[in-house]
Amino acid sequence: MLSTLKAKFMNLLVLYFGCLEYKRMEKTQEKFDRPQLLCAPFERKDLIGIDLDSRTNRKKCTGRLKKHLADLSLQVGLPTDALAQYSQAVDILRGCNDWLWLAACYEGLCSTSVMLLYPHLFRNNVLQRYSSLGVGGSDSCPGTKINPNKVRNNPSSNSNSLPVGLDPSLPKQTSKFCLSPDDIVEKYKEAIVHYSKYRNAGVIETEASIKAVHVLIEQKRYLLAAEFLSNVVFINLQLSDEEKIIRFNALSDMYNQIGFHRKAAFFRRVAAMRCVAPQNQDPDWCQCYKLLLLTLDGYRLSLDPALFLKEGRPGWPALQIQILQELVGTSRRMGEHGLCTRHQAFLLSAMLPYFTLQEKHDNFKMLESVSSKCGSGPSPLVVADSSFIIPPVNFPNIPLCRYVRVMPPSKERQVELRDKLLVEDPGPFIFSPFQSIITTSKVAGKIDCEWVEGDICEVTFAFVNPMYIQLKLNNMMLITEGVEFEAWTSTVVIEASPEAQMVILRGRPQEPGELRILGYSFSLLGVASNCKFKSMSHLKVPFYSLNVVPALPCVQIFCDSSSSETGLVSDGALEGESKVCVTLNAGETHECNIVIHNVSSQSVECVEVALESQNEVEGPDKVFQYSLENLRAQLPIAPGGRASLTLYIYAASEFLLPGYSIEDDGMFSLMSGSEPPSLISAAPSSLHSRQSTIMSSLRGRKANRAHSSASNASSKSGSSVRSGSSVSALAMSSINASTPMPTTGLCNRTLEGLIKLSYTGGRGMENKYWRMADIGISVEVAPSLLVTRWDALPAERPNQCYIVLDLLNSASNEMDLQYTTNKHILMQGGESCRVPVPVDRCPLAKINERVRNIRKNISKRNADGEVSESEILGDHVASLVELRWTLGPFDTPGRASLKSLTFPPQTHHLITMAPVHWDVSLNGQRVENGSENVGKIGEAQRLVIGVSNSSGDALPPLTIVLTAFQDHQNGTQNYRLEAKMASTGATKFGVPKLAPEESYSHDCGLIFFTTGIYKIEVSGSPSSSSSTPYGNFQCSSVCVPGDHHSKTNQHYHAWKLAPPIEISIVD
Amino acid sequence: MSAAEDVLFELLHMEIVKTFTDSKDKDDAASKLEYIGFTTGYRFVERATRETNRFKDELDIMKYICKVFWVSVFKKEIDNLRTNHQGVYVLNDNNFRFLTRISSGKQYLQYAPRFVTFTCGLIRGSLANLGINCVVTAEVSHLPACKFQVQVQRG
Amino acid sequence: MSRQNLRAIDPKKVSGELFTLTYGSLVAQLLKDYENVEEVNRQLERIGYNIGMRLIEDFLARANPGRCYDFRDTADKIQQAFKLYLGVSPSIGSWSPGGDEFSVVLDPNPLTEFVELPDHLQNLRYSNVLPGVIRGAAEMVQIEVLASFIADSLKGDNITEIRVKFVKRLEDAVPAGED
Amino acid sequence: MAVSLTIIGKENSPLYIWMDEGRDSLQLQYLAHTGLDVIQEKISVGQKLPGDSRELYLGLLYASEEYKIYGYTTNSKIKFIVITDVTNAALRDNEIRMMFRHLHSIYSTVVCNPFYVPGEKISSQ
């Protein structure tokens, strides 16, 4: 089919050629003497009245014939002949001022020369052959999108348009008439000048100009080409509207070819406007629209917002705005409301920086009105019957995103990778310098937090409203990439305020892995907008990337308020509150049920509990205690299920009056006047004396009502202990109500604890992810019992001593205090009293053992041996004394501890078990503590003193002395009993060295001459000869080398039988 | 003796160097000095080229910098300009004015960088305004000579 | 390079502009570094003071101005120095009755040739280097002065005026200019 | 006198536009805008026209039926465009040249303001 067509076409061409050739031959033969005047169609009417026979006219005829002949020669492929003939014609016609034909000759001359010089011109584009039928032979179909760069490059790509092997000088040689490149332009110029003299020659003038432009393009002389083109614009042609459109389009194409894209765009726009000019009977909005789209390049407009904004907004805003407005208007007239909305949206978004406030409002209103007809989706729109694609428009600047914060999970939902922590610990030196480099060189936008599959996650945005109009953003949600993410939509209103406004977008990751947050989408006035961070240069990161970890359970932890009793207040009383406040009296124990509620859909399979506390004084485990095993036994906690952890809170406190220090002045605490004592007490007595806190009234009162046996015992107990009465007197003198109270111990103080629960379960557990939950516990400790002063006194029984305590009920409620198993007192709020507590004395073995331990590791802390012994004794006492109390209307129970009680050295022997154990019998009857011994006047009372070594070491030889005296109960003792009694047997005797457990017994008799109550003091001291070697042992075995001052005291030490033997002598 | 106004310029330069190298954040000193030079160069060349004809090409601009520009600033021409014709130009000043006041000798060489930083910026700023984006570095091997290397950033 | 490129431009003017522009860049950088405008004013004065201390040596060597006998002489020297270094001749006037205070009126102020002060920097004493130079230079010749701007055309005043006040002659007052 | 005066930045965006009152602003802007094509061509590298003096003043860019469009470029690739009435015969080439020189001088003063950021729209003048 094609081949036959080709063959037929060839035939036609051959025929046509034959015709031309015949015509040429005929003309060549024709006589020149009487040639016919050849005329252009419009010249015909001018011929009337012209002298046809004039010489000028004859020449004219000849010249014109020559030109015609040249045309024919050219047409049959004889350019050399044509050149010669054109040249002859030029010479002839110039002489007779036949400008039109002269111009035609020049044009012919130029064309022929161009053919020879640039044989490839016009042949490089296949399309050209068909389109050359139009004006100027080069206007392409309107609507053909021309890539400016490509066109501009075309001529240069085959700049050497001569066929290979053809020397550029060849045409010149072929014909001397061939024009040089510069001449061609010159001759074209001349031709155009001549054409322009004829009103009717507009079309050929245009044609010649355009031909010249093509040549100039080939010569890359674009400036000159532009001049020719602008000349074309000035040519006044009577054209129809359609022809005008074609003409302007052609001009635009030409300008594009010379790289004048702005000019090209200008004429394209003129053409577009022609399509819909008011006088145009049949406006073609569609064509106008398409032509307008073609102008965009020239105005450096790209309808792709991302591209347009990225290029740093070059161009000419005023003109860009106009073009866009025309696009909006045109598309609306076309009835393409989708396109219209899109263009208006683009206009608003892209040109926003150039708008005044009023213009912003106007354009916003405009968008509102056009979008009401049709919104703009997120997909590109294709312009009907064309290849134009209008990309979707976004509003990355309405509203403008100031910053983005990818929110880490809330504290209780944060996760921790356990495995990593273990692996990444190659020591501080290796990784510290590199670690920082690695972290800083991290991928931009990598967020250092983890989201958890199935959890609700948040991203916070700060938006600024550039419009000063309230913006309603519908269906706003995150755009993500990577793992599946369920983005939640929300409707957001950005107020017309210049302040940045926060917006939170939420979603839920559906699977573990890397999640990238690319931006956000919303719909504003029906325009769907996908705003990607990468198109917002001010955000600096193209996306935010974070890790989604596998699903983990999540628990709420709170204190079960149903189990709470008085004193327990949960902050806000809300479930899930992570802080519990409890007010307890010092020494009180509280039980608190911590509920772990699994609020997730994963079960908790593994838990760990740790306790943190800021209290250095009391260890956290002293205050808080719980059973992890119990909790673990409740695992797993199913979704929605609960488990509980019972927490025992002990309101630990310092019960001893703070500020007390043994080093103060080396004096016994009860006597120390320099301290600020807060209370006064009478003599230590189980018949406690009561005093109000307003104690000034008691000042000066003699407190020597020491009736108890204990005080009796102490007052007579000899050298190392001052008498109780004097103690009281001194203590009293220092009482002063205005003395500032010590702050701690009397004011409420707070113990803080944090129960940290780590737990995991589900798939997260397989990946070693854990979660933490914690509950803070704040224990406010109200003062309860306070030990203001203490002392040790000998007790009635030798294996015991009395610890005398001055106690203060610093609570405001009445307190029932039980200080021994069977003794208790009632104390009003603020009241104080003194109580004696019998305590078993500390066995020497216990001390020795501790001493050995200390010796083993003489730490700096315990360098002072004396203090160590004090501590040992303090601990001993503290472990034996239990002060239990109930307080207040609810009889809240509690106990006070005497921990960290210390005793000065003078009292140590009282508390320490004596190495000497007395075993005394009178008249064969054992003398017990408090037993009543009765004897008759004149009868010999047989006294057996047994001494045994109750210590773990050998006892040195001792000298035992028996001394009898009478206590007149008025503070005087009568030792002068020579007239009242006599003794048989030695009252002073020696005991040999006794090994442990060994004993020695001594008999003697006593005869009393008068009735009365007698007392016999038994005391033993190391025999003087051996005292020194045993000095250490006797009292202070804990003496650390270098501590000598205490030794001197020890020489005078004696063990006494306490209390003294008492014998009532009756008639 | 140099002209009076040049003394003033030299003193100002010295004070600027001192101000920024003594300031609290020393690390930024170099970039700040360079930037002061950059903005100065950018503006200065705008004025200085008012009476100059349009430059033919990059080399033409470099020649201008070495001759007219350098004379305006330092009252002498660059002693030697070399190029590899691939965007690298090396400008040698054998007696760089900002270095002449420091005693020559190796021990003062360590102070040289701070006295050439401003000028690096000056060159970069000038070239930037003339349409050449480049990186300018300086090298001082023996005082008071200085070698400026201009590396043009293409694309 | 065509011959037109070598057309002579007044080298003095070019140097002056270079100074002015460098100074402008310095001010801009200081404003960037210190948020506080007052601090920038202080820094500029300090820089001026340091320049002044060195500049005086050059001035004495170059101009050989001779000894200052009284404060009026000092004023003359300042005038002379402005001419020499900045190419402007300020007028000296507004002497206080006691002859210990005078004004230097700059017209024009070469430092502000190109400057337009933005609204938010109305507290900036842009040319504060100048009083610093005066103070620094005077101190080197054992004269303690106070110098500060009292009017600045940059801020809309009619003139640019620096007030210089004599404080005291420093000890060991041997003017360095004396042979 | 000129009817329009435009300063165009390195990236061919207008930095400053002045229009004679009462003129069609957009029309003049179109003229100035298309004038950029000619300027660009004239200053393009490799363009070696004989007789090009490499002067900053680029002369008449083109003429429309009503206006003449003149161009000028600085070495820093800032362009100035002045538009005059075609009928205004008083303005000869040299006067246009001087007008541009003056404009250039003003522009360089603006750039030298330490508080002006190059590339920003010029608000002063």
Environment class of D101 (CB within 10 Å of its CB; exposed 0-12, middle 13-18, buried 19+):
middle
Q: What CATH number matches the domain at B4-152, 3.30.1380.20, 3.40.50.880, 3.40.50.720, 3.60.40.10?
A: 3.30.1380.20
Interface chains of chain C (3 or more CB pairs under 8 Å): B, D
For B50, the closest of D43, D104, D114 (CB atoms) is D104
Taking a C-beta distance cutoff of 8 angstroms, is the pair A497, A467 a contact? no
The residue with greater pLDDT, A777 or C24, is C24
pLDDT band at C9 (very low <50, low <70, confident <90, very high): low
Better-scored residue on pLDDT, A424 or A120 = A120
Q: What is the pLDDT of residues A924-975, one digit of tens each?
A: 777 776 667 888 888 888 888 888 777 666 777 878 888 888 877 777 888 8
Q: D116 contacts in C (CB within 8 Å)?
A: 116
Pairing mode of beta strands D79-85, D4-8: antiparallel
pLDDT at C36 over 70: yes
CA distance A476 to A499: 20
The CA distance from D120 to the nearest CA of chain C, in Å, is 14
Q: Any idea how long chain A is?
A: 1067
* Residue reference for tokens 């263009």: A343
Range of the domain at A417: 400-422+442-549
From chain D, pick out residues whose CB is under 8 angstroms from the CB of A261.
37
Contact C118 D115 (CB under 8 A): yes
> Which positions in chain C touch B18 (Cβ < 8 Å)?
50
The β-bridge relationship of strands A624-626 and A642-650 is antiparallel
Asked if D33 lies within 8 A of A223 by C-beta distance, the reply is: no
Tell me how crowded residue A495 is: count the other CB atoms within 10 A of its CB.
Answer: 13
Q: Across the interface, which of C2, C17, C24 has its CB nearest the CB of D114?
A: C24
Per the CB < 8 A criterion, the answer to whether A275 and A284 are in contact is yes
Q: For residue A744, what pLDDT is reported?
A: 43
Residue A889 counted as domain residue? yes
Regarding whether A705 and A831 lie in a shared domain, the answer is: yes
> Packing angle between helix A261-275 and helix A241-257, nearest 10 degrees?
170
DSSP letters spanning A519-536: EEEEEETTEEEEEEGGG-
Query: CA–CA separation, D8 vs A504, rounded Å?
Result: 43
Looking at per-residue confidence, does A956 or A133 come out higher?
A956
**CATH code, C10-169:** 3.30.1380.20
Contact C116 D116 (CB under 8 A): yes
pLDDT tens sequence across C69-110? 778 888 888 888 888 888 888 888 888 888 888 888 988 888
pTM equals: 0.66
Question: Distance between CA A41 and CA A23 in Å, rounded?
Answer: 20
Q: Nearest-CA neighbor of A521 among A555, A487, A559?
A: A487
Chain D contact for C121 (CB, 8 A cutoff): yes
| Residue D71 banded pLDDT, cuts 50, 70, 90 | very high
| Residue C132: predicted pLDDT | 92
| Res. A439: pLDDT tops 70 | no
Q: How confident is the model at residue B123 (pLDDT cuts 50, 70, 90)?
A: very high
Residue boundaries of the structural domains of chain D: 4-112
3-state secondary structure of A42: helix
How far is it, in rounded angstroms, from Cα A228 to Cα D62?
Answer: 11
Where does residue B71 rank: exposed (0-12), middle (13-18), buried (19+ CB within 10 A)?
middle
Q: How large is the average pLDDT for residues A38-65?
A: 70
The answer to whether the CB of A66 falls within 8 A of the CB of A88 is yes
Q: Give residue-wise pLDDT tens across range A482-529.
A: 888 888 888 888 888 888 888 888 888 888 888 888 888 888 888 888
- For residues A553 and A638, the answer to whether their CB atoms sit within 8 Å is no
Per-residue pLDDT band for A49 (boundaries 50, 70, 90) equals low
Query: CA of C153, closest CA in chain B: separation in Å?
Result: 23
CB atoms within 10 A of CB A571: 13
User: What is the rounded distance in angstroms from the CA atom of residue A965 to the CA atom of residue A977?
Assistant: 7
> For residue D70, what pLDDT is reported?
92
For residue A201, the one-letter residue type is: A
In this prediction, residues A600-618 reach a mean pLDDT of: 75
pLDDT of residue B121: 92
D86 part of contact set with chain A, CB < 8 Å:
no
Cβ-contact A645, A577 below 8 angstroms? no
The C-alpha atoms of residue A719 and residue B28 are separated, in whole angstroms, by: 80
State the Cα–Cα distance between residues C168 and C178, nearest whole angstrom: 19
Residue of B nearest to C2 (CA): B53
Please indicate, yes or no, if residue A1011 is contained in any of the structural domains.
Answer: yes
Q: Is C7's Cβ below 8 Å from some Cβ in B?
A: yes
Question: pLDDT band at residue D56, thresholds of 50, 70 and 90?
Answer: confident
**C-alpha closest to that of C126 among C169, C79, C162:** C162
Q: How far is CA C110 from CA A72, A819, B81, C20, C21, in A?
A: 78, 95, 34, 7, 10
Domain count, chain A: 6
**Which segments of A533-672 does DSSP mark as H helices, in order?**
620-623, 628-632
How far, in Å, CA of C116 to CA of A239, rounded? 56
Q: What is the pLDDT of residue A1044?
A: 37
Quick check: is A280 in a domain? no
Q: Which of A1058-1067, B123-132, D21-30 has the highest mean pLDDT?
A: B123-132
Higher local confidence (pLDDT), A675 or A902: A902
- Let me know whether A478 and A575 are in one domain: no
Four-point Cα dihedral A355, A358, A359, A360, nearest 10: 70
pLDDT at C6: 42
Residues of chain C positioned with their CB less than 8 A from the CB of B35: 25, 29
Q: Which of A519, A534, A549 is the last residue in one of the domains? A: A549
Judged against a pLDDT cut of 60, whether residue A429 lies above it is answered with no
- Measuring CA to CA, how many Å separate A709 from each of A662, A687, A795, A840? 28, 11, 9, 18
Q: Is C37 on the interface with D (CB under 8 A)?
A: no
Nearest-by-CA chain D residue for B40: D112
Fold classified for D4-112:
Beta-Lactamase (3.30.450)
Sign, CA torsion D110/D116/D118/D124: negative
| Secondary-structure percent of chain B, ordered helix, strand, coil, rounded to 5 | 60, 15, 25
Structure letter (DSSP) for residue A617: S
Q: Is A790 exposed, middle or buried (0-12, 13-18, 19+ CB in 10 A)?
A: buried
For residues A394 and A402, what is the distance between their CA atoms, to the nearest angstrom?
17
Question: What's the pLDDT score for residue A35?
Answer: 63
Mean pLDDT is highest, among A789-798, A902-911, D11-20, for D11-20
Name which of A222, A266, A314 is nearest D11 (Cβ-Cβ).
Answer: A314
> In the structure, do chain C and chain B come into contact, i.e. share 3 or more CB pairs under 8 Å?
yes
C-alpha dist (Å) from residue A97 to A38, A161, B134, D30: 15, 36, 62, 41
Nearest to A346 by CA among A409, A385, A301, A386: A301
* CA atoms in the 13 A half-sphere facing the CB of D50: 1
Short-list B7, A152, A474, CA closest to C61: B7
**The last residue of a domain, from among A531, A549, A567:** A549
Pairwise pLDDT comparison (A693 vs A598), residue with the higher score: A598
A556 phi and psi, to 5 degrees? Answer: -110, 140
User: Residue C10: what pLDDT?
Assistant: 67
Does A88 score more than 50 pLDDT?
Answer: yes
Domain boundaries, chain B: 4-152
Higher pLDDT among residues D53 and C18, named by residue = C18
Question: Phi, psi (5° rounding) for residue C22?
Answer: -60, -40
DSSP code of A955? B
Interchain pair B4, C58: CB under 8 A: yes
Residue A289 has φ and ψ, to the nearest 5°, of -60, -45
CA distances to A1001, B29, C24, C149, D113 from C39, rounded to whole Å, are 98, 18, 16, 16, 21
H/E stretch holding A556: strand A555-559
| Side-chain half-sphere exposure of B59, counting CA atoms within 13 A | 7
Q: φ and ψ at A317, to 5 degrees?
A: -50, -45
Please indicate whether residue A1021 or residue D122 has the higher confidence score (pLDDT).
Answer: A1021
The predicted structure's pLDDT at residue B125:
93
